[in-house]
Copies of this chain bind each other. A is one copy, B any other.
Amino acid sequence: MKKFLNDPADVVRDALTGFIAAHADLVRLHRNPAFVQRAGGTPAGKVAIVSGGGSGHEPLHIGFVGPGMLDAACPGAVFTSPTPDQILAAMDASDAGAGVLLLVKNYDGDVMNFEMAAELATVPCRSVVIDDDAAGGRGVAGTVVVEKLVGAFAETGADLAACEALAVRANRATRSLGVALSSCTVPEVGEPSFAIGVGEMEEGVGIHGERGRRRAAMKPAREITRDMVGTLLASLPQGDDEVLLMTNGFASTPLIELYLMHGLAQEHLERAGLRVTRSLVGNVCTSLDMAGCSFTVTRLDDELRRLWDAPVRTPALAR
């Protein structure tokens, strides 16, 4: 394992120190229990949007805290759910009188700990589980899309029930699929989670170094994207022909390749009769040092398009 590290046990703490040093204008960090909160707190009367999950997916979630997106995010240990006390503290700090909506990626640990926090909470709260992965219903990169759409919706003054309904709708309209060219190495483990041969790739991969749905021979990008878009389209619910396409890097795939993949995926989607009117390309939901990428497709309508276009000001996404 070759990583920029001090003690592997301190990686999350040390990274949070750098994160808050870089973004003190946008966010503040609470330690013990750890959560990142929007600078200035949730505006009075706005529903607070709170998320979180294991670390190692940066910028998810802490990089998406700020006006137009999350009010707080709880970083767990690497690939480990945040604890209920982290989530409770973030909820207490974020509630501004209109309650808290929890956005939870569909993993046992996350679902359990966020549920426990919701049961113990003294503030009004609802919870939506995100399961955008077309290869198994896990919560993956589509989480960023849901966080953006719901974050923008909450800024309009929508109430807690309406925010919950929007999150459910955004999640249903969103499907993702990933492919890995390498595994990833958890710092405290020191060895790759699984091995991929020189001429192989892993299709339908998750974001925690877990094995994917299928090992396949390495193929030209044109064929990889054709197959991935095919699987995505089969799992996407019926709806308008207008879509958002997000091409997400897992960390070690260069932007030049992500753009190449994005162009090919857009071509395949348009050949299937869809119109890609909104795009995002970059490392938004990573898997430590994994090489690979995922596509996320969200069916848009006038409301979702407006919410996607709404202003946002966070460490990882601003416009």
Contact = CB atoms under 8 A, between A and B. Distances in A.
Contact of A266 (B21, B23, B56, B201): B21
Interface string A224-237: 10000000000000
A231 to B, nearest CB: 17
A18 B254 contact: no
A162 interface: no
Given A21-B266, A261-B18, A220 B5 contact: yes
A291 B17 CA distance: 22
A22 interface: yes
Contacts of A288: 254, 256
A41 interface: no
Contacts of A59: 255
A142 B59 CA distance: 23
Interface in A90-123: none
State the majority secondary structure of interface residues on A. Answer: mixed
A242 interface: no
Contacts of A12: 256
Contacts of A260: 4-6, 11, 14-15, 17-18
A306 interface: no
A279 B23 contact: yes
B281 A283 contact: no
17 contacts: A2-B201, A2-B291, A5-B257, A14-B264, A15-B256, A15-B260, A15-B263, A17-B259, A18-B258, A19-B281, A22-B247, A22-B262, A22-B279, A22-B280, A254-B288, A254-B289, A318-B319
